[in-house]
Chains A and B, each alone.
Chain A
Amino acid sequence: MEIVIWTVIPLCALGIVLAIILFFVAKKFKVEEDPRIDEVEACLPGANCGGCGFPGCRGLSEAVVKSGNLDGKYCPAGGNAAMSKVAAVMGLVAEEKEPMVAVVRCCGSHDKRPQTSTYDGAKTCAIAHATSSGDTACQYGCLGYGDCVAGCHFGAISINQETGLPEIDYDKCGGCGGCAKMCPRGVIEVRPRGKNDRRVYVGCINKDKGAEAMKACKAACIGCGKCAKVCPFEAITVENNVAYIDFTKCKSCRKCVAECPTGAINAVNFPPKPATPPAPKPEAQPAPAPAEATVVENNVNNN
């Protein structure tokens, strides 16, 4: 018992003495920090995704508080909601930005893009891309080893084992671009969410000539240019045998979707189809689409 007392008492005494010293040291060397940094940081999602271009949420908060303005500082993951909170803390007005979302520009699921060889190297996209061209005949499309999944800080992306392609949970995705950065082939693009969360994009980046692209994948863009011809807004350009829809010009009329012979153009969230139909067929189009399209056509004719 005596031993216990003799150990406990000096240890407690030592603890108290050191605590007092630490208290004064902390007072003396206290780092003065703007309390607003903490407040701003509390408004942000806290995932440290780096989508804003600063080293984590703390980095963005410090930059906002130090500069005292919001120019070029935007949290894509938190979106306008987070930024308006930040603006409230700072007494500024946040600029409304169009919310973004990641889209997978590859429709080459297993049934559409047959396997031509076996890849037995390290199971990461970066290495598969660097050391081989993957196990299909398409050297541009998704490799399916899920580097993008590792790049997402919000759990918004997962590989669908049936199709072998990444699927994005649009509710969770904030469009920070973390997945796009990880993808060695640039398959993932960050695009605006679009009106009512509806958007149209080309689900292919294969730059091969039509016949070769088609041989490798049934859902490939063959660069035929039909979509570009049918688009009333000149939003579609075909370059290097692949079509691209300029989201600043696209009005989501979906004429191109119906026109595409391979179904490479994806239309997301249009009723009644819920999420990411890999290849929407013309007959599956909802009724409003042609109506909208005719209206547009009439307008063009009137002009």
Chain B
Amino acid sequence: MIPIAQHIGAPAEPVVAKGDTVKVGQLIAKSTGFVSANIHSSVSGTVAKIEKTIDTSGYKNTCIFINVEGDEWLETIDRTPDLKTEITMSAEEIRAKIAECGIVGTGGATFPAHVKLSVPQGKKCEHLIINGVECEPYLTADHRLMLEHTEEIMVGCKIIQKATGAEKIIIGIENNKPDAIAKMTEAAKKYGITVMPLKVKYPQGGEKQLIKATVNREIPAPPALPIDVGCVVQNVGSTFAIYEAVQKNKPLFERVVTVTGKSVKSPKNILARVGTPLSHLIAAVGGLPEDTGKVVNGGPMMGKAVKSLEVPVTKGTSGVLMFKQSESVRMEENACIRCGKCVSACCMGLEPYLLKNLAKIRDFDALKEERVLDCIECGSCSFTCPAGIPITDYIRYGKATVTKILRSKK
């Protein structure tokens, strides 16, 4: 069960039909634009059907169903664990390879990587920032990746450097992962990469926050991108995927997923193939605890509660969290008491209470003026609100509508 829309941008177009035999790593859906990504089969077998099924959003979207038969990989994929440090491809070839392998940002936003690495003309990439912050509580997928695939990530950094022409590489890691910082610093010496320990705070791992913390630059309001301040940001997970794509010719069809929760028997980080139903991952950690109230796909702050456990893992699934009934109950929504906590919590310097009110009365012009598009939907305002107002929900709706209006005006 592999969804065709696993990234920001246009969904991919299936290139296989019912009855086709596919191998692991075979292209099954082709990207349909510049901001779009290829999708590859994560299993070998026959295509059973292409049908709509429920995904993380709760809505039905097109998925390619494959009946698993054996585990036959494409011959072109190098499955040896040897480290390949030599980068033979040119920048152009690297970008093409990354696009071909369908690499997207694995932090959660799933922005296609080849788009990020294509530095527009007239702009220069000074800093390449690798995001090893993993600021969402509970999640440890990137943490494990940094410990277990340190060298691969370093080579991945060098590959991205070659593709973007970046002058400096900085890896940002939060201070709560001292072992990862130590190991990465040690390995980074050889490659001339700086590892920067960062203060533990949420959302330190947001692209804008990370740039501010590492090189002290601020990205102007959208549509400005990190490249406008000379930066390119990639997640460590994506960096590892880029390494595998460029050096081992392996498309992105599996990723590390943190499966955890307070009453979970044996929480784990699992290397899961894209398309695996969440129920399988949950079975692998000892089954769904009885007192589960909510299963969240992603981190606790930005993740989404799923409606069904048959929802597949996608390229953006960083975690599967099982919350106890007692933890998952939201407070009843009360009237705003104007305490201003959301304003001080907002990492983008916005006024969440105001945005919420404007979204409520559907004043989209004013919302745009109040810079709703700057919101990164980190969820801090909802978390801090003593009146239990789901501020982020309101803002998310406002932001989506404003974006829609702006698009229709174009």
Tell me, yes or no, whether A130 is within 8 Å of chain B by CB.
yes
CB distance from A144 to the nearest CB of B (A): 16
Contacting pair A208 B60 (CB below 8 A): yes
State in angstroms the CA–CA spacing of A130 and B58 once bound together. Answer: 10
Contacting pair B333 A122 (CB below 8 A): yes
- Please give me the 5 A-B residue pairs with the lowest Cβ-Cβ distance, nearest first: A133-B58, A122-B393, A120-B330, A127-B397, A130-B397
Tell me, yes or no, whether A10 is within 8 Å of chain B by CB.
no
Contacting pair B58 A127 (CB below 8 A): no
Q: Which positions 343-396 of chain B face chain A at CB distance < 8 Å?
A: 360, 362, 389-390, 393-394, 396
Choose from B307, B330, B333, B400 the contact partner of A117 (Cβ within 8 Å).
Answer: B307
Tell me, yes or no, whether A294 is within 8 Å of chain B by CB.
no
Residues of B within 8 A of A117 (CB): 307
Which residue of A is nearest B306, CB measured? Answer: A117
Residues of A within 8 A of B362 (CB): 126
- Residue-wise interface mask of B (6-22) relative to A, using a CB-CB cutoff of 8 A (1 in contact, 0 not): 00000000000000000
Which A residues lie at the B interface, using CB under 8 A? 116-117, 120-124, 126-127, 130-134, 139, 208
Known contacts: A116-B307, A117-B307, A122-B390. The answer to whether A132 contacts B58 by CB under 8 A is yes
Residues of B within 8 A of A123 (CB): 333
Contacting pair B393 A133 (CB below 8 A): no
Which residue of B is nearest A121, CB measured? Answer: B393
Residues of A within 8 A of B396 (CB): 127, 130-131
Choose from B60, B333, B360 the contact partner of A139 (Cβ within 8 Å).
Answer: B60
Choose from B307, B330, B389, B390 the contact partner of A133 (Cβ within 8 Å).
Answer: B307
State in angstroms the CA–CA spacing of A122 and B382 once bound together. Answer: 11
Known contacts: A122-B333, A122-B390, A139-B58. The answer to whether A130 contacts B307 by CB under 8 A is no
- Residue-wise interface mask of B (31-67) relative to A, using a CB-CB cutoff of 8 A (1 in contact, 0 not): 0000000000000000000001010011110000000
Contacting pair A133 B59 (CB below 8 A): yes
Contacting pair A131 B397 (CB below 8 A): yes
CB distance from A105 to the nearest CB of B (A): 19
Choose from B57, B330, B394 the contact partner of A127 (Cβ within 8 Å).
Answer: B394
Main secondary structure of the interface of A (DSSP, over half): loop
- Residue-wise interface mask of B (296-319) relative to A, using a CB-CB cutoff of 8 A (1 in contact, 0 not): 000000001101000000000000
CB distance from A55 to the nearest CB of B (A): 15
Residues of A within 8 A of B54 (CB): 133
Known contacts: A116-B307, A117-B307, A122-B333. The answer to whether A127 contacts B59 by CB under 8 A is no
Which residue of B is nearest A124, CB measured? Answer: B360
Tell me, yes or no, whether B406 is within 8 Å of chain A by CB.
no
Residues of B within 8 A of A133 (CB): 54, 57-59, 307
Tell me, yes or no, whether B329 is within 8 Å of chain A by CB.
yes
CB distance from B77 to the nearest CB of A (A): 37
New A-B contacts (12) at CB < 8 Å, excluding given A121-B393, A127-B397, A132-B57:
A117-B307, A120-B330, A126-B362, A127-B390, A127-B393, A131-B304, A131-B393, A132-B58, A133-B59, A139-B58, A139-B59, A208-B60
Chain B CB within 10 Å — which of A120, A132, A139 has the most?
Answer: A120
State in angstroms the CA–CA spacing of A116 and B308 once bound together. Answer: 9
State in angstroms the CA–CA spacing of A120 and B328 once bound together. Answer: 10
CB distance from B284 to the nearest CB of A (A): 23
State in angstroms the CA–CA spacing of A252 and B59 once bound together. Answer: 35
Choose from B57, B329, B389, B397 the contact partner of A120 (Cβ within 8 Å).
Answer: B329
Residues of A within 8 A of B59 (CB): 133, 139
Residues of A within 8 A of B57 (CB): 132-133
Known contacts: A122-B393, A127-B394, A139-B59. The answer to whether A132 contacts B400 by CB under 8 A is no
What are 22 A-B pairs at a CB distance below 8 A? A116-B307, A120-B329, A120-B330, A121-B390, A121-B393, A122-B389, A122-B393, A122-B397, A123-B333, A124-B360, A126-B362, A127-B390, A127-B397, A130-B397, A131-B397, A132-B58, A133-B54, A133-B57, A133-B59, A139-B58, A208-B52, A208-B60
Residues of B within 8 A of A131 (CB): 304, 393, 396-397
CB distance from A41 to the nearest CB of B (A): 25
Residues of B within 8 A of A134 (CB): 58
Which residue of A is nearest B331, CB measured? Answer: A120
State in angstroms the CA–CA spacing of A208 and B59 once bound together. Answer: 11
State in angstroms the CA–CA spacing of A139 and B308 once bound together. Answer: 13
Residues of B within 8 A of A126 (CB): 362, 397
